[in-house]
Structure 1
């Protein structure tokens, strides 16, 4: 039996749908028909032998196989984009850029991009700072930093411009064998009966309580911790459950125990990651380059880029 020829189009359409969460939004951003994206995703699923999305009332939700393929998809698109560049590196550009980032972004999002930027622009010097959201916002407004890579869903300073690059879905984390894994629909009321591990770093607790407060329930908090690895281990060992984003998810704890995930029946907002800078500032060549790189990788519409 002949196999489909996997091509750039399949990966591009898949990544756009995964990033935006809906076929209609991906079609609009890519200026193509929804049927073209739907057909490409079906072909990709047939080729991989795995269902990559669950189709829900909220949109397209990645399966475990889809999350694994998304990580590969970003690498594929970045590699193709780099291959299309005239030469292996841009030695002509030279400049310095001060970039602030929050803990979660620096630990789980930025490293691979910093390596690619260094390889592509060897004479671009990025001065990196890890700070809290409040300190980042203040530093951008007072021109201590040129740009920031942050959780844009947390930014609330009207003096800043934000540009979301990707949305990371939040799911319920459970240990292997947990009774909730057998439920067709898991709701906040079900979770409220379980011991809950509340992550606090990067205002995670504040974000969690915002969507909990929209329900009639509250989490039964057993522990508050700033350590994602602590949450991972405690959940894997059956001492509690938590709701966290796909970006920080790993299927195994440090002890080698399995962590399962479940999509909630009720809506849980995603964690948005992107760029921020001071409103009204003239983007320097280094800032334009930095922004342009992420636009290419995450398929940001070209209309959003500065002329």
Structure 2
């Protein structure tokens, strides 16, 4: 048995048992993937997959155990590579970060810039996706760290730590009737066309929950994954907007020109952005440094203890 066989089996599982797709990702041929899997099954004396003709149909019971062991083996192989990279070229390497658009656009620029100053020979790859995709990129080791608000804590194979707390803001055109009110309620917001996030992004679940608890149905006229898109349409007069606090900060950002904001934490509750690492992964020095740059509540010792299983979580 060899690592190529392990990778082929793992990728076949990840690609919903589609060997053609697994072969494409692995830059090899479909017959080659199929033969490698069959050779491993024969060597182990078990079927990892059930088949219908030449197609893989499902993962067998022993196959699930094989996949668990393969995941551990390949994780430790990657750890060995990182250890080698760390000690042969301690100040170089490639650092991959997975995050949602909001985190990449409004939160990560300063920490990334400061990391580049401290580690100028380190190349940074920034991957963006929805929270589920961020989690999967960390699990698949396409990224060493993930940053998002939703979903990260739902994966047992991820070590997650709260990073910082934030609230939603109401974005209003200057001169809007709500801008003159000292106290804005959910009922007030529900009376106007509303522009906000897609249901899987940037704390949208808290927004929906707050309205549902008051038995209100907001008139959502546009959903987006990008805060700049939301505020652009508010500027055009399509409605009022609910956006992440991070998108409204700074000195007169272009996306906020002509708009006023009101905090909504007392109506919608607070959100917690989290960082995630793959459980059992070896973290290089610049990964620890980046975690510290993300939040003054994170430090190397805390992250290291969490990775060793000594700290399951901590409160902001």
CA distance in 2, matches of 1:190, 1:214: 15
Tell whether 2:273 aligns with 1:273: yes
User: Alpha carbons of 1:291 and 1:301: their partners in 2 closer, same or farther (altered >3 Å)?
Assistant: closer
Is 2:163–2:273's contact at 8 Å kept on the other side of the alignment? yes
CA distance in 1, matches of 2:92, 2:109: 21
CA distance in 2, matches of 1:183, 1:209: 23
Shift of 1:261: 1.4
Tell whether 2:281 aligns with 1:304: no
Q: Secondary structure at the match of 2:178?
A: helix
Q: 1:143 aligns with which of 141, 144, 158?
A: 141
CA distance in 2, matches of 1:92, 1:226: 37
- Map residues 151-300 of structure 1 onto 2, 5 A cutoff: 151=149, 155-200=153-198, 203-204=201-202, 205-249=204-248, 257-264=257-264, 266-295=266-295, 298-300=296-298
CA distance in 2, matches of 1:113, 1:130: 16
Is 1:195–1:221's contact at 8 Å kept on the other side of the alignment? yes
Is 1:185–1:265's contact at 8 Å kept on the other side of the alignment? no
Is 2:195–2:223's contact at 8 Å kept on the other side of the alignment? yes
User: Alpha carbons of 1:254 and 1:290: their partners in 2 closer, same or farther (altered >3 Å)?
Assistant: closer
CA distance in 1, matches of 2:168, 2:139: 30
CA distance in 1, matches of 2:134, 2:181: 42
Which residue of the partner structure matches residue 59 of structure 2?
Answer: none
TM-score, scaled to structure 2? 0.58
Is 1:199–1:224's contact at 8 Å kept on the other side of the alignment? yes
Shift of 1:201: 7.9
Shift of 1:200: 1.9
C-alpha offsets along residues 42-64 of structure 1, whole Å, 9 cap, x if unaligned?
A: xxxxxxxxxxxxxxxxxxxxxxx
Is 2:167–2:264's contact at 8 Å kept on the other side of the alignment? no
Structure 1 portions without partners, runs of 5+:
1-90
Is 1:173–1:259's contact at 8 Å kept on the other side of the alignment? yes
Q: How many residue pairs end up in the alignment? A: 215
Shift of 1:230: 3.1
CA distance in 1, matches of 2:256, 2:120: 38
Q: Secondary structure at the match of 2:115?
A: helix
Which residue of the partner structure matches residue 314 of structure 2?
Answer: none
Shift of 1:141: 1.9
Root-mean-square deviation (CA, aligned residues, Å) is 3.0
Larger radius of gyration: 2
